[in-house]
Amino acid sequence: MTAPRTLFRKVWDAHVVRELGDGAVLLYIDRHLVNEVTSPQAFEGLRAAGRTVRSPVNTLAVADHNVPTDNRAAGVAGIAEAESRIQVETLEANVAKFGVPYVPLLSKQQGIVHIIGPELGLTLPGSTIVCGDSHTSTHGAFGALAFGIGTSEVEHVLATQTLVQQPARAMLVRVDGRLGAGVTAKDLILAIIGRIGTAGATGHVIEYAGEAVTALSMSGRMTLCNMSIEAGARAGMIAPDAKTYAWLEGRPHAPKGAAFAAARAWWETLHSDPGAQFDRTVEIDAGAIAPMVTWGTSPEAVTTVDGTVPDPAAIDDPAIRGQCAAMLDYMGLSAGARLAGLPIDMVFIGSCTNGRLEDLRSAAAVVGTRRVADGVRALVVPGSGEVKAAAEAEGLDRVFIDAGFEWRDAGCSMCLGMNPDKLAPGQRCASTSNRNFEGRQGPRGRTHLMSPAMAAAAALSGRIVDCREFA
Amino acid sequence: MQPFAKLDAIAAPLPLENVDTDKILAAQFLKTVHRAGLGKALFAALRQDPDFVLNRSPWDRAGILVAGANFGCGSSREHAPWALLDFGIRCVIAPGIADIFYNNCFKNGILPIRLPGEEVTTLMTLASDPATAPMVVDLKAQTVTAAGCAFHFDVDAKRKNDLLNGIDEIAETLKYTPDIDRHEAMAQSQRPWMRTAYS
């Protein structure tokens, strides 16, 4: 009889190649996703040392960060900025030289790496998944152990298909009750981060459980796990269930027939055993959560849409007070200001956090036959070519275009300032992305993180507004 | 990787919490395909202010950075430690350091040190005065010494050894190739559905 184990521990144990002493292990990596930004120096390292990619079959590359989200027909040559184009060309040269499978820019399957992995059925329960991108935690929604790594580790995985890993602690976030109407997975994760802080889960792998988590769709579960990194976690995971299996069955690279049944039999063992020990447990009441909006330059600087920004004068600690005042100054907000009613310049609906079909449906449902407010520029950027095609098949593109939104091609877009989609200095954006850091969406840009329904409502109103008013 | 044994350097104070890797190295500088040369882009937005600590003597020669809680949070970009290293910083001391950044530091010969808040506050005060800003970080002894005070820090045994000896981790792991082969064969028989290539 083995001791009760957590979901995290089961997946970890199944991938230990050998112990390295002092708790460190060599961990086997099932799936390595590679992008154009964090891989050039890794391939360069391989070349310099005369090494090869050990297991191309476990590897998939795609360009997403630098790619423009319009004029896609021009392909890589159509990337106007030379440095961005060189990064994508470098990726293409590297995958050709090292024999790594690649989704080309012009493929219908191209998209944000964390959207296409699941979509292609390459993200499977119980697997270990890494990528040189912190939002790799997204894939934990399937019960995978998935985490972001640096470029040195990208090189290590390319060369050895393993990583040297230190043990992590286990944290349970249990969300009881149900989310109310108009309250989404995005609001839930923002509320969790607001509660535990951006360093709240440092050193931990979070397992999300409870009625409200089980009730989420796979899309919502991906949103939840995606922002685990914004709580400082090494990874976020959700135990697979019938919803997970139904979502995966029939995906291009998911197992088929008898292989699916065999896989499912193992997947069904992937849950935390009764009595499994967590180092920390956080309990959240789903029913108490309202639509959330960030007001500062850290995701923990968040409150409900009917809330107000803090008054630095009321903070005792001088360092915290100074930092709060600096955030308000950067964001152009006065102490104690109400968030609802704040005018916005831009709206961004997309990213690995909220660029899936369900997110676009949720935004479109708010839009209906209304129009984007005068003076507001609003972008809808599907997370992948497949998401774009599926949305067009059900007419969502018409809803957005008729309302005055720009309907774009797949990529990371305005989540980070690496491609032409950027904020101008001082512009205020209602964004469905994951980070409100200073300059994240463009130098001096101001980001308010929120759900797709909230961002759509902001686009229509020209101001931050409770999306439930549009129900 | 450059080994790290003992560092005798100026410490610069950065009394900010939640310094994210976008702030350390902004996205517009991520478009390089090389590791070197990022020092000039380190903290680019903050350095526009001539009074920013790293623009002033003696901290413009800093080899140690003393920072607030949750340093290095956010993006996994290794360009952040590359920029610190290129500037000349070999050690970061903070009450909390985000996991991916912490890990990335070790791969680049930078020693990240997590110390209790009150000890960091003491070091921050000392770093703020040019007379007491020089500090000594001794990895072997696991101590930070400054103006007569000495603090002990913890570090994983394997990471310490790798850093002291400037170990090439990939070369080390490749010695375990037979173990990796064995694991792969075992996983292939138990979970054959995992090894599918994108096509």
- Separation CA A219–CA A199 (nearest Å): 25
SS3 string, chain A, reads CCCCCCHHHHHHHCCEEEEEECCEEEEECCEEEECCCCCHHHHHHHHHHCCCCCCHHHEEEECCCCCCCCCHHHCHHHCCCHHHHHHHHHHHHHHHHHCCCEECCCCCCCECHHHHHHHCCCCCCCCEEEECCHHHHHHHHHCCEEEECCHHHHHHHHHHCEEEECCCEEEEEEEECCCCCCCCHHHHHHHHHHHHCCCCCCCEEEEEECHHHHCCCHHHHHHHHHHHHHHCCCEEECCCCHHHHHHHCCCCCCCCHHHHHHHHHHHCCCCCCCCCCCCEEEEEEHHHCCCEEECCCCCCCEEECCCECCCHHHCCCHHHHHHHHHHHHHHCCCCCCECCCCECCEEEECHHHHCCHHHHHHHHHHHCCCCCCCCCEEEECCCEHHHHHHHHHCCHHHHHHHHCCEECCCCCHHHCCCCCCCCCCCCEEEECCCCCCCCCCCCCCEEEECCHHHHHHHHHHCECCCHHHHC
For chain B, give the mean pLDDT. Answer: 97
> Average pLDDT for residues B93-121, to the nearest whole number?
98
Instruction: Write the residue in B23, B78, B198 that is nearest to A438 by C-beta.
Output: B23
Given this model, what pLDDT does residue A421 score? 95
Which chain B residue shows the shortest CA-CA distance from A157? B170
- pLDDT at B71 > cutoff 80: yes
For chain A, give the mean pLDDT. Answer: 97
- pLDDT at A355 > cutoff 80: yes
Least confident range of A64-68, B7-11, B192-196: B192-196
Q: Characterize the bridge pairing of strands B64-67 and B6-14.
A: parallel
**DSSP conformation class of B59:** G
Instruction: Write the residue in B98, B107, B198 that is nearest to A60 by C-beta.
Output: B198
- pLDDT at B111 > cutoff 70: yes
Q: What tens digit of pLDDT does each residue of A70-116 get?
A: 989 999 999 999 999 999 999 999 999 999 999 999 999 999 999 99
Q: What tens digit of pLDDT does each residue of A209-247 get?
A: 999 999 999 999 999 999 999 999 999 999 999 999 999
Q: Do A259 and B192 touch (CB under 8 A)?
A: yes
> Average pLDDT for residues A422-450, to the nearest whole number?
97
Q: Is A50 left (phi over 0), alpha (psi -120 to 50) or beta?
A: left
Tell me if B72 sits within 8 A of B89, measured CB to CB.
no
B191 close to A (CB below 8 A): yes
Tell me if A335 sits within 8 A of A368, measured CB to CB.
no
> Average pLDDT for residues B172-181, to the nearest whole number?
98
Tell me if A367 sits within 8 A of A468, measured CB to CB.
no
| Backbone Cα Rg of chain A | 22
**DSSP conformation class of B63:** S
> Average pLDDT for residues B54-68, to the nearest whole number?
98
The helix (H) or strand (E) run that includes residue B138 is strand B134-138
- Higher-pLDDT residue of B2 and A4 is A4
What are the φ and ψ backbone dihedral angles of A280, each rounded to 5 degrees? Answer: -155, 145
B49 close to A (CB below 8 A): no
B34 close to A (CB below 8 A): yes
What are the φ and ψ backbone dihedral angles of B27, each rounded to 5 degrees? Answer: -55, -35
- Crossing angle (nearest 10°) for helices A82-98 and A40-49: 40
- Separation CA B78–CA A308 (nearest Å): 36
Query: What is the CB-side half-sphere exposure of residue A114 using CA atoms within 13 A?
Result: 33
- pLDDT at A299 > cutoff 90: yes
Given this model, what pLDDT does residue A344 score? 98
Given this model, what pLDDT does residue A96 score? 98
Given this model, what pLDDT does residue A471 score? 79
Q: Which of B21, B25, B33 to mutate to test the interface with A (most CBs of A within 10 A)?
A: B33
Shortest distance between the Cα of B185 and any Cα of chain A, in A, equals 11
Given this model, what pLDDT does residue A173 score? 98
Q: Do B195 and A166 touch (CB under 8 A)?
A: no
In chain A, the N- to C-terminal Cα span, in Å, equals: 53
- Separation CA B122–CA B11 (nearest Å): 12
- Grade residue A319 by pLDDT with cuts at 50, 70 and 90: confident
Residues 279-318 of A with CB under 8 A from B: 298, 300
Q: Which of B19, B25, B101, B198 to mutate to test the interface with A (most CBs of A within 10 A)?
A: B198
The Cα-based distances of A12 to A3, A284, B156 in angstroms read 15, 26, 19
Q: Where do the domains of chain B lie, and which CATH numbers do they carry?
A: 6-167 (3.20.19.10), 168-199 (no CATH)
Q: What tens digit of pLDDT does each residue of A122-165 get?
A: 999 999 999 999 999 999 999 999 999 999 999 999 999 999 99
**A:B CB pairs within 8 Å:** 207
- pLDDT at B168 > cutoff 70: yes
> Average pLDDT for residues B151-158, to the nearest whole number?
96
Q: Which residues of B touch A417 (CB under 8 A)?
A: 26-28
Q: Which of A10, A31, A41 to mutate to test the interface with B (most CBs of B within 10 A)?
A: A41
- pLDDT at A1 > cutoff 80: no
What are the φ and ψ backbone dihedral angles of A163, each rounded to 5 degrees? Answer: -140, 145
What does B75-107 look like in DSSP terms, one character per residue?
A: ---THHHHHHHHHT--EEEES-B-HHHHHHHHT
CA dihedral (B37, B40, B42, B45) positive or negative: negative
SS3 B157: helix
Instruction: Write the residue in A49, A58, A86 that is nearest to B195 by C-beta.
Output: A58
Given this model, what pLDDT does residue A110 score? 97
